[in-house]
Structure 1
Amino acid sequence: MQKTMPTFIKKQWPLLLSFFVPFIIMSIIYIFQGVYPFGNDSLLTVDLGQQYIDFYSYYRQTFFEDPSTFFYSFSKAIGGDMVGLWAYYLTSPFNLLFLLFPHTQITLAVTCITLLKISLSGLSFGYLLKKAFNGTGFILAAFSISYALMGYTIVNQLNIMWLDGLIFLPLIVLGLERLVDKKKGLLYSIFLGIMLFANYYIAYMICLFLICYFIFRLVSVSYPKETKWKTKLKESFITVGLFIWHSLLGAGLAGILLLPTFHSLMESKASYTKFEFDWELAYPFPEMLSKLFIGAFNFDQMPSGYPNLFIGSLALVSFFCYFFNRSFSKRERITALAVMVFFVVSMNLEAFNKIWHAMQYPIWYPYRFSFVVCFFMLLTGFRNFMHYEGMRPISTFVSMVVTASIGFYVYNAEFDFIYTEQVILSVLFTFIITFLLIIKPQKYTWIPIAFFILTTVEMGLNAQIDLSRLSYVDQDNFTLYQTGLDTDIDAIQDMDDQFYRIEKNYLRTKNDSFQANYPGVTHFSSTFERTIPALFGSLGFPVGDGFLAYSNGTLVTDALFSIRYYISEKDNLYLAQKDQPLGSKSTSLKESFNRTMRNSTLLDPLLIPTVSEEQKAVFELNAMQTKPDLRSYAQLGETDKTIIYENPNALSLAFGSSSAILDVSLLEDQPIALQENILQALTGNQLAEEFFVPTEFDSTVYQNVTSSNSGNESLYQKQVLNNDASVSFQFTPETDDSFYITLSPNIKDEDVELFLNGEPFTQYETYRDQLVLNIASQNKGDTITFKIGLKESTIRLKDFQLYRLDSSTFDSAVQSLQAGGMTIEDYSSTYFNGSVDIQKGQDVLMTTIPYSKGWSVKIDGIPVQTKEALEGLLAVPISEGTHRIEMNYTTPLFLEGAILTILSILSLIVSAVFLKKYY
């Protein structure tokens, strides 16, 4: 062993440098930035903090607590297929490392995995250079470091699942090189299959790149001069056939995931796809040059910006020198130029950009495929360097002039992400690299070391500048929120082990339900089924393509969607105005809290990050909504920061309903009318009274505002532009009923300020449908004032109407529906078993499970045909009386995908064994 290790280091030290130099550089940057455990910062920024971190908690829960959630989870909004979400976010083999970290150290796990992936990308690229292109020494390490720390990597390290593409791309290309050179495609198929399994989205971009790269390599293949053209043509056809065959096998290997993911995409992300192409340019081509400079990045480049192309001076200069290097055939260089022109056009022309992103323009993180362009530039640059005889005087002069000209252009263009120092540094590094290339033919032993040191310093500077321009979630705030939410959820679930949903009037992210493992409604992901946001948007909630915020629930929607427990921030001034009734479960919840707290003290203190008392004192929850309706619910218990309520109106997940519900259609921007129609249909229209009663305001007070009305629209305009202006709507409830107003989607947070009885009215700010705002409950005799402060000179209120929910009529409806509710005796994420007593007039078993072909239902052991209600919910016909209900979920196309994977493995084995001619 003593002899083996020094021998290994002696032979593999360039590869070791390729791994450890990026690891050390990034570690030093994290240490100086105070990333936990070296400070109070974390790597949680943008989507990593708002989406992925919650999914990683869910990842651990799936392995350790409930494997069935791999297929389906009720933490995904009101329920949803999970295989597509896994394929998009979670199937990286490196995610297994999350299992080694406790739940409370999930941010530390993210840091470690990020470091590992960045370092492995350098090692992977170095391995490609060594095995396919005879790379050695410090030059191999220098180019590998450039690849690991290129601008794309640093900027997108928060999209941690995309980093797998940087690791596997060199290995796939290594397999492709062997396929072209030796007609051996086994390695290519295996790594292509792994990449497709790890992240199909980035793998799609890699597949497009592989087509371009294969054409480039096929054209550049050289044959002995005496080779006949028929032989060349035959060899080319064989190579093309092997490329197609092994590409299909690679895709087939991942079939167990790809087929069900395809079905999921058809229900979610792909359902938004429009096959329309915009043939406009996104920006003038010369502006792309700005991204070749050190630190060419700021936060504004995330939502929209230029492609990340920084690869370092050594790789960049060497890449451009390739086109003048006669060591490579003219046809190869022309093909490489054509490929590069195609890449450059793709990073600007909107139509090509859309194709690269799977027919959808990216929302944030533009030009996500630019890493394959950087890879091509780095690989081509390395090949040139290995066959470059050094710069000649004319080349040197041209290089200096071009570098100075580009630097002058970027300096004068005044890009907001590039400062003078960055321009100077970039030009200086390029000049030094050019000088070293001039003396390269002298083959001084120190020159490779100089290239290596310069590259290391330059790439490290770029990483530091880029990362310093992002803001991150404080570790203390994350820990306090995580432990506080865990305590509340654990106590509720310890007290009540039935199926129900939980919601909150505050949030850290829209995926808190994944973080703390509970069925909720609020959700955000790229694989969110389209029908659910459409349903909730029609009901008056903030939704978008991929997200839903349950911030505008009424008593009706809380009951309908089984929101049995509600957690509220404690410092809610409006709720504090009235004493809350204590629920019958208050004692049970208190005992549950005590058990939870006792259990938490038994944990190893090292597993839970310590938080100072000062930080605990100033920590505040991020309110998402104002909800006076909570005053109608029973208060069960409280912690330092939260209060837990029980909703006595919550219906079961499945309950008896009139078949009239099957005929209810969604309405556009009529949420109260839709909720009225749903209640009437569920109860068979048996109640003559309206549930929601239109009500007038008693008075309207204008401050510096003039108004005019036209139909159902009111125009409010400031009289004096620079003075405060507002409209206040007042009324005094004569009952304790709940009151709601509707707010049109043209009114945004930047247009108005909302106040309820003098306190800021909290509302989730992103929405596209008409909203329902809860402004009163249990307020008989109180004067209610809803004030709209104008930020703009003019606002238009459309369909602004006050409604009263008749509590007696609503209570009667709820009681009749609860009587026909399903008693769930046994359940998991994919299975429900129980009994139901269907009442007279109820001939449909209505559920709040999203409709999917994956759900099958048996009534009294007999399979029944499922139906779709409200354009997105599962329902089945049923008859009056007592019945046994069994519901099962099977992921569509999962079995077919498994068969495809098995067949592909067998085919790959057959190819390897029987086609020995090409192996």
Structure 2
Amino acid sequence: MLSNVKSVKYILNATLSLTIMIILAIIFKFIPFGGPEDRTMLTIDLGQQYIDFFSTFRKTLLSDPRQLLYSFEKGIGGEMIGLWAYYLISPFNLIFLFFNENNLDLGVTFLTIAKILAASTTFFYFNQKKYQSNPYIAMAFAQCYAFMSYTITFQLNIMWFDALILLPIVALGLDYIIKGRKPWLYVISLALLIMFHYYIGMMVCFFLALYAAYLIIENQDQFVFKKFIIQYFIFIKYSIFAVLIAGIVLVPTVDSMTASKGAQLDPETELIFEFVQEHHFVDVWSKMFMGGFVYDEMSSGSPNIYAGMLTWLLVFFYFFNRNIKLSEKITSLIIIIIFYFSFSIELLDKLWHGGQFPIWYDFRFSFTFSFFMLTLAIKAFDRTTKTIPIYQIVIVLISMAVITFGYFKYTNYSYHTPEKLFMSLAFFVILLVIMQLTMLPEHIKSSLLLLVTCFELTTNAVLILSEIDNYVQPSKFNDYISTLSKAVDPLKHDDSSFYRIHKTFQRTKNEAMYNHYHGLDHFGSTIEVRTTQLYGFLGLPNTSNAVNYTNGTLFTDDLFDIRYLLDISSNTRIYTKDDGYVLYRRASDFDINAYPILDKENRYVTHENTERLGFAVEVSPEIVNAKFEDFLPIDNQEMLLQLIDYEGNGETYFKKKAFNEVVYNNLEVADKGDGDFYTYRATSKDQKGSFTLYFDTESENPYYFTLPSQFSNSNVSIQLNNDKYSFYTPAEGRQITNASFNHIQSDQNIRVNLKKDSLKSNLISLYEFDLKRYEEMINSKQNHLFDVISFKQNEIQGTIDIQQKKGYLLIPLPYDKHWKITVNNKKIKPIPVLSDTMMALPLTKGPHNISMTYFPNTIWYGLVSTLIGILLVLLDQKFLFRETTYSIKS
């Protein structure tokens, strides 16, 4: 039979998983099972972040390995070790080497299929090695694991799935060491799991601390406390060895986190030791039914714990089964209770997530709960007698019916419908009936359980995937990628010069990493906090995990060395095909007209900025004392300008202008707060309120607004002179946006329309920029710029002739201690300046040769950790071998 042919079992299990995946792909028309007008699997962060990183992965391995360390395609420049460790280190990503950059969206489909197949296979292997279940039942449980709600809901976070793949192997290896077998499987698999994704790996380690206790109890015929402690310390010992071996990735990653996620951790707000309940008992267990998902669950929701009705059915019987020890049941129940409180109490939830609440995708550790439930279900099936007592069947059936009816009658969760609830109950009953068909041969009964389970899991997946509606269309994706390549590729020069490219349009914030140019935007969990702070100080859109250069001033364009600027053409919509991507400006931009047009195409226009401040710029010694101020972006830019214009007379470049008047329409100011923080309230509920500010532009200079941080596209819309005015959100600070350029006009106006009945915000301010004097200053700097002689992603060489007796070279990059810098062949440490956001070098008057190399020493420390871990395991095994040999001889 099938049970006697090992390879056939695994092939059949994989074929079953592949069949389900293909059925889902056909139903939802994912490429290659749908046409160019249908769907890719790119949705939410997979379409907005990860796809761009996959292109970086491909380029790094094929042509530019320096981007393993640092990249100027990430924002204004940033370290890459953290990004690789969080997003890209999975060996499954090698799949992308078989695709070119024009069809990486297709590669994502194959990557997803490969990872789900791998998860199914490893769980099947775990089952066969630990429980020796009959192959059909083992396949059923493998499908439950591969297609549980967590997997379907979070498949867009594809980088997490390496942990799901390796968890069954780690669990099997842990079982081996508890039974006194060799530790290699456990140590190596756990080390790989942590290396492939340290963040989810941390959650797995928390789970293993619970699972180890369960395994020790499971393997003891009679509980002996001393033996329990000894075995638990053995688990801890080998876990430490695994963590040490993972050090080659873990040590530099932890170091990089101190500049990104770790730097954003606020002990006063994040590590509050309060037992606040975020989800009640009914909330948590509402997810035990099929289709327990709606789109809003992405941003906030209860844990995804559904892993098939077969799992829940057998977990019920697990606690009834007299063939399972009471101590084991008590341990299992304690672990389930711990999981419940982890799902329910804020403090425990945060601890599972490393001390911080996740941004979207709550309860990222819930797959470990599903894994544990599956192990209990397998154990229950393994120990269940051929005939289940009638009283147990009645209790289980009534319990499930009461639970289902209770959720139907007394709750109103958006993801519950009567159809979903009673369909779940129906599958529960069908599976229960099949288990009671004792007259059937075992392999027939097992086959029926497998088929029903597969049908149920497929139905659940369809219900969940139907709730996600914003998949990227293949034709639009490929149109945008090809259009951007056509626009950007001619601007990439083969020489060693350095410059950046900015676009007024974008599909994602990371497309500089897809099309491989030096941009200024980035969206990712590993972004340096200094970068986000710098953008906020300068009035550019920023959040805790993203920066977006949508509304730079003429000064910041020069500061960040932006040479080329791409804008949409006036006829871009006319020249866009029906199934193409329509280019549009993310924010109203008038400054771009200050730059001459270099090239004009049907859908976009290329401008060139010919005079800039270069890669680095000489500034006044006053920079060591200068600090940025929160929510004062104009003041911060002015301070920077004065530091650069060290020979100037100190006259300001930005001059604040007063509004002529403000007119309220169906709106009143209910409170003025401290004088700059107004509470607006609609006077009539029948229509929305608005207020209009009138102003004059008396010159052709650029004029700028500063918009309060409280403005967002969800609570206001803005019009400038009755035309739609676009501004980018979200932004955590006050934004500088264009008001006018080269346009003299009296009585201009900006109108703010409230989308809600009330609004609390600071006031809008208006500034005029002295363009003529600024251009004279920039022109005077052109003969003394930093001259880049050689540029590579982590190695820059150049020269500069310092004009001051004692000056400073400001390098507009996020400060990073891992830059190794030599000036005239002498090592010099860069100093953090401007609220520690950027770095500067103290230099004396005269010419200087400067060399910058980025290489974190923590890589060497990590390598030492790995070698120590391997050595400790070898010594441990050698010692145990000698001890065992001595015992045998004795």
| Contact 1:289–1:406 under 8 Å retained in 2 | no
Check if 1:259 corresponds to 2:251: yes
Structure 2: gaps of 5 or more residues = 886-890
Residue-pair matches, total: 870
Alpha carbons of structure 1 residues 623 and 612: separation in structure 2 relative to 1, 3 Å = closer
Task: Choose the corresponding residue for 1:11, options 6, 29, 35.
Answer: 6
Equivalent position of 2:619 in the other structure: 657
Check if 1:282 corresponds to 2:278: yes
Q: Which amino acid aligns with 1:376?
A: F
Equivalent position of 2:484 in the other structure: 485
Check if 1:875 corresponds to 2:830: no
Equivalent position of 2:367 in the other structure: 371
Q: Which amino acid aligns with 2:508?
A: T
| Contact 2:688–2:757 under 8 Å retained in 1 | no
| Contact 2:654–2:767 under 8 Å retained in 1 | yes
Task: Provide the rounded CA distance (Å) in 2 between the counterparts of 1:726 and 1:687.
Answer: 42
Task: Provide the rounded CA distance (Å) in 2 between the counterparts of 1:21 and 1:853.
Answer: 51
Equivalent position of 1:906 in the other structure: 871
Equivalent position of 1:355 in the other structure: 351
- SS for the counterpart of 1:838 is strand
Task: Provide the rounded CA distance (Å) in 2 between the counterparts of 1:810 and 1:513.
Answer: 29
Check if 1:401 corresponds to 2:398: yes
Equivalent position of 2:701 in the other structure: 737
Q: Which amino acid aligns with 2:786?
A: M
Task: Provide the rounded CA distance (Å) in 2 between the counterparts of 1:716 and 1:455.
Answer: 56
Check if 1:694 corresponds to 2:691: no
Equivalent position of 2:888 in the other structure: none
| Contact 1:657–1:842 under 8 Å retained in 2 | no
Deviation at 1:887, TM superposition (A): 0.7
Task: Provide the rounded CA distance (Å) in 1 between the counterparts of 2:125 and 2:760.
Answer: 63
Check if 1:521 corresponds to 2:520: yes
Q: Which amino acid aligns with 1:729?
A: L
Task: Provide the rounded CA distance (Å) in 1 between the counterparts of 2:56 and 2:855.
Answer: 20
Check if 1:438 corresponds to 2:442: no
| Contact 2:613–2:782 under 8 Å retained in 1 | yes
Equivalent position of 2:383 in the other structure: 387
TM-score normalised over the length of structure 1: 0.91
- SS for the counterpart of 1:886 is strand
- SS for the counterpart of 1:557 is helix
Check if 1:752 corresponds to 2:716: yes
Equivalent position of 2:856 in the other structure: 891
Task: Choose the corresponding residue for 1:838, options 799, 802, 805.
Answer: 802
Q: Deviations over 1:639-662 (max 9, x none)?
A: 322111112342111121111122
- SS for the counterpart of 2:155 is coil
Alpha carbons of structure 1 residues 132 and 707: separation in structure 2 relative to 1, 3 Å = closer
Task: Provide the rounded CA distance (Å) in 1 between the counterparts of 2:361 and 2:831.
Answer: 39
Alpha carbons of structure 1 residues 612 and 135: separation in structure 2 relative to 1, 3 Å = farther
Alpha carbons of structure 1 residues 883 and 320: separation in structure 2 relative to 1, 3 Å = same
Check if 1:80 corresponds to 2:78: yes
Check if 1:243 corresponds to 2:235: yes
Task: Provide the rounded CA distance (Å) in 2 between the counterparts of 1:216 and 1:796.
Answer: 53
Task: Provide the rounded CA distance (Å) in 2 between the counterparts of 1:196 and 1:918.
Answer: 31
| Contact 1:79–1:850 under 8 Å retained in 2 | yes
| Contact 1:624–1:763 under 8 Å retained in 2 | yes
Alpha carbons of structure 1 residues 905 and 441: separation in structure 2 relative to 1, 3 Å = farther
Written as runs of structure 1 = structure 2, the 5 A alignment for 1:770-919 is: 770-781=734-745, 784-795=748-759, 798-840=762-804, 843-870=807-834, 871-916=836-881
Deviation at 1:442, TM superposition (A): 6.9
Deviation at 1:842, TM superposition (A): 6.0
Q: Which amino acid aligns with 1:31?
A: I
Task: Choose the corresponding residue for 1:198, options 193, 196, 199.
Answer: 196
RMSD (Å) for aligned C-alpha atoms: 2.4
Written as runs of structure 1 = structure 2, the 5 A alignment for 1:12-91 is: 12-37=7-32, 38-39=34-35, 40-91=38-89
Deviation at 1:407, TM superposition (A): 1.0
Task: Choose the corresponding residue for 1:455, options 453, 465, 485.
Answer: 453
Task: Provide the rounded CA distance (Å) in 2 between the counterparts of 1:797 and 1:464.
Answer: 43
Equivalent position of 1:309 in the other structure: 305
Written as runs of structure 1 = structure 2, the 5 A alignment for 1:539-558 is: 539-558=538-557
Written as runs of structure 1 = structure 2, the 5 A alignment for 1:403-442 is: 403-412=400-409, 413-440=411-438
| Contact 1:542–1:548 under 8 Å retained in 2 | yes
| Contact 1:87–1:198 under 8 Å retained in 2 | yes
Equivalent position of 2:582 in the other structure: 620
- SS for the counterpart of 2:555 is helix
| Contact 1:183–1:918 under 8 Å retained in 2 | no
Task: Provide the rounded CA distance (Å) in 1 between the counterparts of 2:2 and 2:760.
Answer: 77
Deviation at 1:798, TM superposition (A): 2.8
- SS for the counterpart of 1:789 is strand
Equivalent position of 1:176 in the other structure: 174
Equivalent position of 2:636 in the other structure: 674
Deviation at 1:796, TM superposition (A): 5.3
| Contact 2:682–2:689 under 8 Å retained in 1 | yes
Deviation at 1:908, TM superposition (A): 2.9
Deviation at 1:197, TM superposition (A): 0.8
| Contact 1:150–1:310 under 8 Å retained in 2 | yes
| Contact 1:776–1:784 under 8 Å retained in 2 | no
Task: Provide the rounded CA distance (Å) in 1 between the counterparts of 2:346 and 2:439.
Answer: 44
Written as runs of structure 1 = structure 2, the 5 A alignment for 1:288-307 is: 288-307=284-303
Alpha carbons of structure 1 residues 299 and 428: separation in structure 2 relative to 1, 3 Å = same
Task: Provide the rounded CA distance (Å) in 2 between the counterparts of 1:245 and 1:312.
Answer: 35
Alpha carbons of structure 1 residues 163 and 555: separation in structure 2 relative to 1, 3 Å = same
| Contact 2:2–2:8 under 8 Å retained in 1 | no
Q: Which amino acid aligns with 1:506?
A: F
| Contact 1:853–1:892 under 8 Å retained in 2 | no
- SS for the counterpart of 1:840 is strand
- SS for the counterpart of 1:460 is helix
Task: Provide the rounded CA distance (Å) in 2 between the counterparts of 1:572 and 1:813.
Answer: 36
Written as runs of structure 1 = structure 2, the 5 A alignment for 1:696-715 is: 696-698=658-660, 700=662, 702-705=664-667, 711-712=675-676
| Contact 1:679–1:813 under 8 Å retained in 2 | no
Task: Choose the corresponding residue for 2:314, options 315, 318, 337.
Answer: 318
Q: Which amino acid aligns with 1:302?
A: M
- SS for the counterpart of 1:615 is coil
Q: Which amino acid aligns with 1:741?
A: F
Alpha carbons of structure 1 residues 452 and 411: separation in structure 2 relative to 1, 3 Å = same
Deviation at 1:9, TM superposition (A): 9.1
Equivalent position of 1:345 in the other structure: 341
Alpha carbons of structure 1 residues 496 and 692: separation in structure 2 relative to 1, 3 Å = farther
Q: Which amino acid aligns with 1:87?
A: A
Q: Which amino acid aligns with 1:276?
A: I
Deviation at 1:21, TM superposition (A): 1.2
Deviation at 1:760, TM superposition (A): 1.1
Structure 1: gaps of 5 or more residues = 1-5, 577-610
- SS for the counterpart of 2:416 is coil
Deviation at 1:729, TM superposition (A): 3.2
Q: Deviations over 1:232-281 (max 9, x none)?
A: 67754553343222211211221111001101111111222232133121
Task: Choose the corresponding residue for 1:135, options 133, 136, 144.
Answer: 133
TM-score normalised over the length of structure 2: 0.94
Task: Provide the rounded CA distance (Å) in 2 between the counterparts of 1:256 and 1:209.
Answer: 23
- SS for the counterpart of 1:850 is coil
Deviation at 1:904, TM superposition (A): 2.1
Equivalent position of 1:100 in the other structure: 98
Alpha carbons of structure 1 residues 379 and 633: separation in structure 2 relative to 1, 3 Å = same
Taking only the aligned residue pairs, the percentage that are identical comes to 31
| Contact 2:659–2:766 under 8 Å retained in 1 | yes
Q: Deviations over 1:856-880 (max 9, x none)?
A: 2111111112111112111110011
Q: Deviations over 1:749-781 (max 9, x none)?
A: 233211123321111121221111111111135
Q: Which amino acid aligns with 1:653?
A: F
Deviation at 1:19, TM superposition (A): 1.7
